[in-house]
Amino acid sequence: MFDSTIDVDAARLLADLKRLREFGAFKTGVHRPTYSEADIAARRWLRDRMVEAGLDATIDGIGNVFGRSRTPGPCLLSGSHLESQNEAGWLDGAMGVIYGLEAARSLGGGVDVVAWADEEGHYGSFLGSRSYIGELSETGLDAGRNKYDSTPLRDALRRCGLEGVPRVRFEPGRYTGYLEAHIEQADDLEARGLKLGVVTSIVGIRQFRIRFEGTQNHAGTTRMAIRRDAGVAAVRLAGAIHDTFPRVVAARSVWTIGRLAFEPGAPSIIPGAAEMIVQFRDADDAVLDRMEGTLLDLVEQARRGPCDVRCDALSRSRPSLMAEPFQDALEAACEAVAPGLHQRMPSGAGHDAQIVARVMPSGMLFVPSIGGVSHHWSENTADEDIVLGCRAFARGAKDILGQAG
Contact between 178 and 78 under an 8 Å Cβ cutoff? The reply is yes
The arrangement of secondary structure in 204-316, i.e. its CATH architecture, is 2-Layer Sandwich (3.30)
Q: What is the mean pLDDT of the chain?
A: 96
Position 4 confidence tier, pLDDT thresholds 50, 70, 90 = very low
- Single-letter amino acid, residue 312: D
Residue 41: which H helix or E strand, with range? helix 37-52
CATH superfamily of 10-202+321-404: Zn peptidases (3.40.630.10)
Residue 66, SS3? strand
Q: For the chain, where do the domains classified as CATH 3.30.70.360 start and end?
A: 204-316
Q: Which of 124, 105, 108 is nearest to 116 (CA)?
A: 124
pLDDT attached to residue 5: 55
Coil, strand, or helix at residue 19? helix
Predicted local distance difference test score (pLDDT) of residue 187: 95
CB-CB contact of 245 with 255 (8 Å): yes
pLDDT at 278 over 70: yes
- The Cα 183–Cα 192 span in angstroms is 16
CA atoms within 13 A on the CB side of 120: 25
Share of the chain above pLDDT 70, in %: 98
Q: How crowded is residue 23: how many other Cβ atoms within 10 Å of its Cβ?
A: 24
**In the chain, ranges of CATH 3.40.630.10 domains:** 10-202+321-404
The beta strands (E) that lie in 189-341 are given as 196-202, 204-213, 217-218, 254-263, 269-270, 273-282, 308-316, 320-321
Q: How far apart are CA 277 and CA 287, in angstroms?
A: 19
pLDDT band at 6 (very low <50, low <70, confident <90, very high): confident
- The backbone torsions φ and ψ at residue 147, rounded to the nearest 5 degrees and listed phi first, read -75, -10
State the pLDDT at residue 23.
98
Helices (H), 77-165: 94-107, 127-132, 138-143, 153-159
**pLDDT score for 404:** 64
Q: Could you read off the pLDDT of 34-50 as tens digits, one per residue?
A: 999 999 999 999 999 99
**What count of other Cβ atoms lies within 10 Å of the Cβ of residue 147?**
11
Q: Check if the beta carbon of residue 176 is closer than 8 Å to that of residue 74.
A: yes
**pLDDT, position 285:** 94
Region 79-96: what's the mean pLDDT?
A: 97
Q: How confident is the model at residue 2 (pLDDT cuts 50, 70, 90)?
A: very low
Confidence at residue 332, expressed as pLDDT on a 0 to 100 scale: 97
Instruction: Count CA within 13 A, CB hemisphere, residue 33.
Output: 13
E-strand spans in 49-126? 56-59, 65-68, 75-81, 111-116
343-391, pLDDT tens digit by residue? 999 999 999 999 999 999 999 999 999 999 999 999 999 999 999 999 9
Among the listed residues 189, 225, 230, the one whose alpha carbon sits nearest the alpha carbon of residue 212: 230
pLDDT in tens, 95-109: 999 999 999 999 989
Rounded Cα–Cα distance for residues 68 and 58 (Å):
9
Quote the CA–CA distance of 221 and 219 in Å, as a whole number. Answer: 6
**Cβ proximity of 377 and 231 under 8 Å:** no
- Whether the pLDDT of residue 205 is over 80: the answer is yes
Mean per-residue pLDDT for 164-178?
A: 96
Q: Summarize the confidence of residues 211-217 as an average pLDDT.
A: 98
Give the residue from 185, 207, 25, 49 showing the smallest Cα distance to 119: 185
